[in-house]
Structure 1
Amino acid sequence: MIQTNTSPTLDVLFKRILARKPDALALVDPLDKPRVTGQPAKRLSFAEADRAITALAAHFIEAGLPNNSVIAVQLPNTIEFVLTVLAAHRAGLVVALFPLLWRQAELTVALNRTGARAIVTSGRVDGVNHADLAMNAAAEAFSIRHVCGFGNHLPEGMASLDVALAGDATTRRAVVEDGRKAAIISFDVTADGFRPVPRTHLHLIAGGLALSLEADLPQGSVFMSAFAPSSFAGVISSLVVWLLSGGTLALHHPFDGNVLEQQISEQSCDTLIAPAQLAMRLSENELSSRLPTLRNVIALWRAPEQVLASPVWTDRQAALTDVYLFGEAGLFAVCRNAEGAPAPVLPGMHGAPREVPGSSISGEIFLTPKGTLALRGPMVTPAAYASSAPHGDSLMAQPPRDFVDTDYAARLDRSTGAICITAPPSGIMAVGGYRFLATDLLEWARRLGQGALLTALPDRLSGHRLAGRAHDNARAREALAELGLNPLMVEAFRDRTSST
């Protein structure tokens, strides 16, 4: 039984579309899903998706997961991810987003920090046995009571969600649909270390509106999402923007360029959501002639300091919107100007140009006294980034901040007054969508013994790339894998052949 409140949730948005057009195409799997997960690709209408969501929600309830408990999700960019998130919300649960590159070390820490009661994964993803990873991590997390997964050959003790999807869903419980309730937990790395960042449904909807309004996305759009869904930006740029539009969401598991273009053509996609470097690469060779249906490209910049130095967008058929990402702290979106160059970002209140004058959706951007960029507004969660109270003799409590300092160095351009982001946070290394403390790299290298080195080198595309050196690189890789570290660190010690 659903009790409706005045503030919508993601499930309420889904049900509104379902009521209008139950037979319309809702979700489309990646074409190469059989290679990625070993399962057939699916296409679901809104009615079919609703039945699957109800079945999964019933499974979570029957498994004894209480209202408002946390369920960890580590899944690829396939239909199962979307169904699981909406089913968890329908069952009154909070979703913790786990990146696919996380291995046992990160999984265990995140499970214990969030007190997760369950974990959902896929049997295999790109040849990696994620089911075994989840089982091993769950064994070290005392709060875990239920482990489940999609796919074949799941280990003993892991419940099959494919079986749950095929069954009849009859279990119901009262769930209050209130947008102010927690919806997701994502994970960030700041100077203070690893940090869970919870957000409500309203935070997610505000983020989705910031993107869809700035990009002027029409209702009923056909989206192609090629961005990993394991972050705040990943969820709002695909799942939330899709629910706000009421169109079709086609998914691509990054990355195969030929498959991606084939999917866009076959689905007649009008909007592409992708990492910025991928979007810029696609535009180099006559994008309009290859993908004639494409009208909007949403480029997500994990390294926002690189936007101003990026190439001019030359395609005149598809408009480009730059999305500046600041870890999990927040984001803002800005359309390219008429010449295809990045538009200036002025400090102050930011909203989409098609809004009512004076209103604000995105929030506010400003510089702190120490020369860093800060965000405030409806998608930002300052409490998640609040530092612990300093020790001292004063009994006076410090007032809570209503903004988040991103720690990105920034300055004002003297001639235009625009904000120029000049450097990422000090001491934090970003490799694609994964962030590490520089001190963590030194600690892992120290564990490998004398003479081992693990460092992050600047990289134009991904921010940084990891490089390692040890007396025996093969043994170093084995040791890091046994410690449960993700493959970015392990493969930093790959053998490099000499050109001589």
Structure 2
Amino acid sequence: MSLFPPEDYARFRAEGHWADITLPQMVAASVARVPDRLALVDAPNRETLFEGAPKRLTYAQMEAEVARYAAHLQAQGLGQGALVATQLPNIAETLLLYLAISRIGAVLSPVSMAYRAAELADLTRVAGFDAFISIGHFKGQPFDPERLSALPASVLRLGIGSGLPDGMASLDGPAPAPLASVTVDADAPFAVFWTSGTEGVPKAVPKTHNNLMASSLGAWRLLDLPDGANILAPFPFVNAAAVGGLMMCWMRTAGALFLHHPFDLQVFLHQLKTEDIAYTMVAPTLLTYLRDQADDPGLRAALHRLIALGTGSAPPDPEVFVFFEQHFAIPVVNFFGSNEGAQMCSAASRVPDPRERARFFPRDGDEGWDATSRTANGGTFRLVDPASGAAVTEPGGLGEMQLRGPAMMPGYYSRLGYDRTKFTPDGYFPSGDLFQISDCGGLIRFHARARELIVRGGMKIAPVELDNTLSALPGVREVAVAAYPDPRMGEKVCLFAVMHPGRSLTLAEVSDFCDRVGLAKFKWPERLEFLPALPRTPLAKLDRKALAKRLAESQKTGEIHA
């Protein structure tokens, strides 16, 4: 079975990006090879999130639990092609259920714990879930029964743990019947992920087993993780980045996956200090915190144990990359990706200068530059001028990235099938991401989301560029800019700042800083707002739309707000 155009199927098979290995087969191989090796570890604060003591499962113990859950799911009538939504925190049972769903040939659809009845109703209208799995309580609060009422009566309600609401069948207890063997196709969907929904109802993004294999292979190679390397995962397993970049890397190393989330700084630091962690991926703000606290003896020892550090989702500070390379010999890897299938990896092997690595990605995969090269996940791209449609190939050029590759989704999913209308006639997916070619010609940098550009008096401003520059303001923990309406200029720039305790900032100081760094005056923020934290989507991405909405609704333009 193939959900892709025949030419893509033939190409990616011929190039070795796709094969016949499925995720259940990968797990089975690890179980057979290292049955007694530690495989899956709960966060130490599990009992405050859910119930029961933290689990530490070997591969053999994990396999037994996966088989038990798979048998329960089959007993509920679920099997090949069934779409199973899960709304679960990062506990051991979550990964066990993911693998069990895959084992029976069903399709996983993870949903953020932040979503409530309205979002669940939207998602099920799009995708048509066959089953929904959740828990009876979380962080001391009972399950919200309105979430179940948002689901059609045809959706099976399943749960784990105590306190399940009426109508939700338990998946706990011994297997009700022997597990029936199922043949799973590597070209069949493994999961349907969801976009962040910042532009409306989230879109359903299906990924096959082969998609995820391709997505993880490049990152795993660039990170150079050895067999048995342990991974600490501080992000929820609800999108392709977390599943492809953390869960799949864990499956390739056959080490232990240490779970974490919701994010708790002290718990995260405890895990780093007390467990043998080889790799973790953190947001840029946490990367900065780790640098600032690196003199702590316990943390310093933990950082020396790390083989690799990853970051992404926001502009990182280049000097932090320099610090970790100089003091701990850790070349931090910068990632850029999307659920749909984009993956840029800036690793030391391709971008040796740590300052450049924080801002740029190798131009690998650009068909207008080197037709033989590939992106980290085996794909290719082209940069296209959004206005003219002309190819962008020269240094300094700016264009929208259009992608194709073995990690690319087959099309947006709905209960009606797979929609490829967003693809170009020759098979490329327009990402909406604007990238600029470096002056040297061998690197590219993310410029902006096309829809996020701020237009002030006809001059276009890239928010990410300003985020990068203004993150160096003294006293700020994190910053982001957004547009606010202006009757004369159309739009102007507002700076949102999250300050370190005891620090302050004025708009005049922001202007002085912009002047010192030589920023064009039309880009200078003309309004300053303070927030305790920047708004994030359920997938932990900056929600710039929420910032713009806050500004559009405010009538106090030009004032400073505490």
TM-score (norm 2): 0.69
Q: How far apart are the structure 1 equivalents of 2:438 and 2:403?
A: 19
Distance 1:293 1:330 in 2: 31
Query: Which of 326, 333, 345 is 1:321 aligned to?
Result: 333
Pairing 1:403–2:428 present: yes
Task: Write the deviation string for residues 289-318 of structure 1: whole angstroms up to 9, x where unpaired.
Answer: 241453234434224xx2586743412323
1:157 is matched with which residue: 167, 171, 179? 167
Q: For residues 323 and 388 of structure 1, what CA distance do their matches in structure 2 show?
A: 26
Aligned-partner Cα distance in 1 for 2:19–2:421: 36
Corresponding residue for residue 363 of structure 2: 347
CA distance in 1, matches of 2:402, 2:243: 22
Q: Which of 302, 311, 317 matches 1:291?
A: 302
Give deviations 1:464-500, integer Å, cap 9, x for gaps: 4646879xxxxxxxxxxxxxxxxxxxxxxxxxxx97x
AA partner of residue 333 (structure 1): C
SS in 1 for 2:108: strand
| Matching residue of 1:426 | 451
Matches within 5 A, 1:189-268: 189=197, 194-268=202-276
Q: Does the aligned pair in 2 maintain the 1:182–1:200 contact within 8 Å? A: yes
Q: Give runs of aligned pairs for residues 382-397 of structure 1, distance below 5 A.
A: 383-384=411-412
Contact 1:91 1:175 in 2 (8 A): yes
Q: Does 1:109 align with 2:122?
A: yes
Residues 123 and 154, structure 1, Cα contact 8 Å, conserved in 2: yes
Query: Do 2:401 and 2:435's aligned partners in 1 also have CA atoms closer than 8 Å?
Result: yes
| d(CA) in 1 for partners of 2:80, 2:495 | 45
| Residue identity in the other structure for 1:38 | E
Residues 396-444 of structure 1 show CA distances to partners (whole Å, capped at 9, x for unaligned) of: xx974433222122222234442121112415999xxxxxxx9xxxxxx
User: Is residue 2:282 matched to residue 1:274?
Assistant: yes
Confirm or deny: 8 A CA contact 1:332 1:362 kept in the other structure: no
Secondary structure of 2:219's aligned partner: helix
1:31 to 33, 44, 49: 44
Deviating more after overlay: 239-248 vs 412-421? 412-421
- In the alignment, the residues of structure 2 paired with residue 129 and residue 331 of structure 1 have an alpha-carbon distance, to the nearest angstrom, of 38
**2:312 corresponds to which residue?**
301
Matching residue of 1:181: 188
Would you say the 8 A contact 2:38–2:59 is kept in 1? yes
1:206/1:191 Cα in 2 relative to 1: closer, same or farther (>3 Å)? same
Question: Cα RMSD (Å) of the superposition?
Answer: 3.8
Q: Is contact 1:314–1:340 with CA below 8 Å preserved after alignment?
A: no
Alignment of 1:415-494 (within 5 A): 415-426=440-451, 463-464=542-543, 466=546
Shift of 1:245: 0.8
1:13 aligns with 2:13: no
CA deviation after TM superposition for structure 1 residue 242, in Å: 0.7
Of 289-298 and 12-21, more deviation after overlay is shown by 289-298
Shift of 1:345: 2.2
In structure 2, do the counterparts of structure 1 residues 326 and 457 end up closer, same or farther at CA, with 3 Å as the change threshold? farther
Tell whether the 8 Å contact from 2:311 to 2:332 is kept in structure 1 after alignment: no
Q: How far is 1:282 from its partner? A: 1.6
Query: CA offsets, 1:138-167, max 9 Å, x none?
Result: 2xx2541x1112222111111222x2xx30
Name the TM-score, length of structure 1 as normaliser: 0.76
The aligned counterpart of 2:470 is: none
Give structure 2 stretches of 5+ with no counterpart.
1-17, 367-371, 387-398, 455-462, 464-481, 483-493, 499-533, 535-540, 552-560
Question: Percent identical across equivalent pairs?
Answer: 24
1:387–1:222 distance in 2 versus 1, CA, 3 Å:
closer
Per the alignment, in what secondary structure is the counterpart of residue 157 of structure 1?
coil
The residue identity in structure 2 corresponding to 1:76 is P
Report the CA distance between 1:240 and its aligned residue: 0.8
Paired with 2:39 and 2:70, the residues of 1 have a C-alpha distance of 19
Distance 1:109 1:30, change over 3 A: same
CA–CA distance in 2 between the matches of 1:428 and 1:23? 53
Distance 1:137 1:298, change over 3 A: farther
From 337, 342, 366, the counterpart of 2:382: 366
Q: CA deviation at 1:223?
A: 0.8
| Secondary structure, aligned partner of 1:86 | helix
Do the aligned partners of residues 171 and 400 (structure 1) sit closer, same or farther apart at CA in structure 2, a change above 3 Å counting?
A: farther
Q: CA separation of 1:388/1:458 partners in 2, compared to 1, >3 Å: closer, same or farther?
A: farther
- Measured against aligned partners, the alpha-carbon deviations of 1:188-226 in whole angstroms (never above 9, x if no partner) come to 248685311101011111111121111111111011111
Matched with 1:22 is 35
SS of the aligned residue for 1:291 comes to helix
Given that 1:300 and 1:325 are in contact with CA atoms closer than 8 Å, whether structure 2 keeps it comes out as: no
* Equivalence for 1:47: 60
Q: In the alignment, which residue of structure 2 is the partner of 1:484? A: none
Amino acid at match of 1:289: R
Aligned mates of 1:229, 1:249 — CA distance in 2: 12
SS at match of 2:251: helix
Is residue 362–residue 379 contact of structure 1 (8 Å, CA) maintained in 2? Answer: yes
Residues 119 and 134 in structure 1, CA contact (< 8 A), matched pair in contact too: no
Greater relative CO (CA pairs within 8 A, separation 6+): 1
Counterpart amino acid of 1:96?
S
In the TM superposition, what is the alpha-carbon distance from 1:90 to its structure 2 partner?
0.7
Using the alignment, how far apart are the partners of 1:420 and 1:360 within structure 2? 15
In structure 2, distance between residues paired with 1:360 and 1:186: 21
1:495 matched to which residue of 2?
none
Instruction: Indicate if the aligned counterparts of 2:135 and 2:160 stay in contact, CA closer than 8 A.
Output: yes
Equivalent of 2:406, from 372, 375, 378? 378
Cα separation, partners in 2 of 1:21 and 1:101, compared to 1, 3 Å: same
Give 1:249 deviation, angstroms: 0.7
The answer on whether the counterparts of 2:104 and 2:182 sit within 8 Å (CA) in structure 1 is: yes
Partner of 1:57: 70
Cα offset, 1:39, TM superposition: 3.1
Separation (CA, whole Å) in 1 of partners of 2:205 and 2:453 = 17
CA distance in 2, matches of 1:167, 1:413: 59
Check 1:419–1:295 CA distance in 2 against 1; reply closer, same or farther (3 A cut): same
Contact 2:72 2:175 in 1 (8 A): no
